[in-house]
Structure 1
Amino acid sequence: MFRYIVRRLLQMVLTFFGATFLVYALMFANQKDPIQALVGERPVSESQRIALTERYHLDEGFFMQYWYYMKGVLTGDFGTSMTGRKIYDMMSDAWPVTFRLAIIAIVIAAAFSVTAGVYSAIKRGGIFDNSTLLITLVLLAMPIVVIAPLAQLIFGIQLGWFAPTATRDATFYQLLLPAIVLACIVIAPEMRVTRTSVVENLRADYVRTARAKGLTRMRVIWVHVLRNSLIPVVTLIGVDLGGLLAGAIVTEHVFNIPGVGFNLARAINTEDGPLVVGFVSILVILFLFINLLVDLLYAALDPRIRYE
């Protein structure tokens, strides 16, 4: 296990540098005028050009510019946004909001999809199974850019069941509707994977053995079958966390939630390159560690799995 963790950490380092290099290159390297790209459509005076050239080392080669940026990132200095604010301070304000939103969304998605998936597998071919299949097809066919404004209009504005927008110190009630919207993009695949995995395990030999020992059907399903069935589901949930952070860009923008997605959407619209690269760098780190954690959970769910 130790060698596996070390190997994965080395892979994560290479992936991090590769991903950040690609994002940095896409934001700056292909621009004919990198200073104009930094400030967007605003006019730039000669003094501003000199200051920006010195700040971002634009008089040096691209690889040296990337080295200076990574040196700052590794020491906790993400630079300054084009608005004049420190990117680290903006992250400190945005990440807690997005973390709360993502946690609420993943809990809602996991609880609903696992419960419905198991029950669909038990009652496969029945009304509930066919109904959930229809619901998952509808959810898969509707992108987040459709679900978010539609949910805000119907449940937030017309019916008034939820708060249509959120404040900086967003409460659970304000984040509930956006979290449900985010959960909708991952519920469908998680539910179908859970159902398929449970159906396969119900046909396994250990299930017949457990039933022959006198264990009740519900105990066999919720204790033995569910544990073995959760391995592919945990994998999918780990991948979905990255999808939730990506979906948060649209959701936070629609519901005016001042989180990571809201700041990224605004930075992309205003062509704020340093802010985009800074936030994406942290997203890459989080995604890599989430995937490592998911891999390590395999051994906890199934002791038969070994990495050495």
Structure 2
Amino acid sequence: MFRYILRRLLQMVLTFFGATFIVYALMFANQDDPVQALAGDRPITDSQRQILTERYHLDEPFLQQYRYYMEGLLTGDFGTSLTGRRISDMMADAWPVTIKLALLAIVIAATVAITAGVVSGIRRAGTFDNVTLVLTLVILCLPIVVLAPLARLVFGVQLGWFPPTAGRDASWWALLLPAIVLGSLVVATQLRVTRSAVAENLRADYVRTARAKGLSGRRVIGVHVLRNSLIPVVTLVGVDIGNLMSGAIVTEGVFNIPGVGFNLFRGITTEDGPLVVGFVSILVIVFLVVNLVVDLLYAALDPRIRYA
């Protein structure tokens, strides 16, 4: 186990440097005039342009800029945004609300997907199974750019069931509607995977053996079938972290949530390279750590799995 964790940590280091290099290269290639993009339509004097260019090393080659950024990043300094704010301070304001939103979305998606998936797997080809199949296909067909403003208009503005906007100090109730919208990105896939895993495990030999021993149906499903069916679902949770973060860019913008996605969208539109790369670097770390934890959970869910 120790050798496996060490090997994965080494892979994570290489992945982190590779991902940050690619993101930094994309932002560097996409930069047209970041100083003017930051100012909008307002004119900028030559002295102001020169000061900003020298401060952010915009006149130096790409590799030199990347070296400056990595030196600061490895020492805990994420740099300064083109707006003049320290990126670490912006992260301190953005991450708490995004973590609340993502956790709420994961809990909602996992609860709905596992419950409905188990019922569909037990009652294959039944009414509930067919209805959930249609609903999941509808959800998969609706992109987040359509679903988020539609949900805000219907449930937030017209019906008034939820607050139409959340804000920085949003309560759990204010984040419920955007969390449902964000969770819809992953609930359909998790539900279908759970349904398939339950249906397959119900036909396994160990299930027939458990029933032959006289175990109750609830114990067979809850202990034997569900535990083995959760392995592919846990795998999806690690992948879904990336989907939730990408969907948060649209969701946080629609519901006015000043989180990670909101700042990333603003950084991309204003060509604020330090801001985008700083937030993406933390997202890469979160994604890698979550996937490592998911891999380690396999052994807890299935004793037959061992890491050499």
Task: State TM-score, norm by structure 2.
Answer: 0.95
State how far apart, in whole Å, the 2-side matches of 1:128 and 1:58 are: 59
Percent identity over paired residues: 75
Residue 77 of structure 1, CA deviation: 1.2
Residue 40 of structure 1, CA deviation: 6.4
Q: Give yes or no for contact 1:104–1:176 (8 Å, CA) kept in 2.
A: yes
Structure 2 unpaired stretches of 5+: none
User: What letter corresponds to residue 299 of structure 2 in structure 1?
Assistant: A
Matches within 5 A, 1:65-80: 65-80=65-80
User: What letter corresponds to residue 52 of structure 1 in structure 2?
Assistant: L
Residues 153 and 59 of structure 1: CA distance in aligned 2, closer, same or farther (over 3 Å):
closer
Residue 167 of structure 1, CA deviation: 2.0
Q: Which deviations, in whole Å up to 9, do the C-alpha atoms of 1:114-140 show, x marking residues without a partner?
A: 000000011111100000001000001
Q: What is aligned with 1:28? A: 28
Q: Which deviations, in whole Å up to 9, do the C-alpha atoms of 1:121-176 show, x marking residues without a partner?
A: 11111100000001000001001111101100111111111111012111011000
Residues 61 and 111 of structure 1: CA distance in aligned 2, closer, same or farther (over 3 Å):
same
**Does residue 252 of the first structure (1) align with residue 252 of the second (2)?**
yes
Residue 269 of structure 1, CA deviation: 1.7
Number of residue equivalences: 308
User: What letter corresponds to residue 230 of structure 2 in structure 1?
Assistant: L
State how far apart, in whole Å, the 2-side matches of 1:251 and 1:33 are: 28
Q: What is aligned with 1:201? A: 201
Q: Give yes or no for contact 2:38–2:270 (8 Å, CA) kept in 1.
A: no
**CA RMSD, Structure 1 to Structure 2 (Å):** 1.6
Residue 41 of structure 1, CA deviation: 6.2
State how far apart, in whole Å, the 1-side matches of 2:142 and 2:84 are: 38
Q: Give yes or no for contact 1:39–1:82 (8 Å, CA) kept in 2.
A: no
User: What letter corresponds to residue 6 of structure 2 in structure 1?
Assistant: V
Q: Which deviations, in whole Å up to 9, do the C-alpha atoms of 1:22-79 show, x marking residues without a partner?
A: 1111111464667657766654433334323432334543222211101111212111
State how far apart, in whole Å, the 2-side matches of 1:118 and 1:77 are: 47
User: What letter corresponds to residue 56 of structure 1 in structure 2?
Assistant: Y
Q: Give yes or no for contact 2:267–2:276 (8 Å, CA) kept in 1.
A: yes
Q: Which deviations, in whole Å up to 9, do the C-alpha atoms of 1:246-266 show, x marking residues without a partner?
A: 100000000001111111112
State how far apart, in whole Å, the 2-side matches of 1:295 and 1:39 are: 46
Provide the secondary structure at the position in 2 that maps to 1:174.
coil
Q: What is aligned with 1:235? A: 235
Q: What is aligned with 1:126? A: 126
Provide the secondary structure at the position in 2 that maps to 1:234.
helix
State how far apart, in whole Å, the 1-side matches of 2:172 and 2:227 are: 30
Matches within 5 A, 1:1-308: 1-29=1-29, 31=31, 43-308=43-308
Q: Give yes or no for contact 1:165–1:255 (8 Å, CA) kept in 2.
A: yes
Structure 1 unpaired stretches of 5+: none
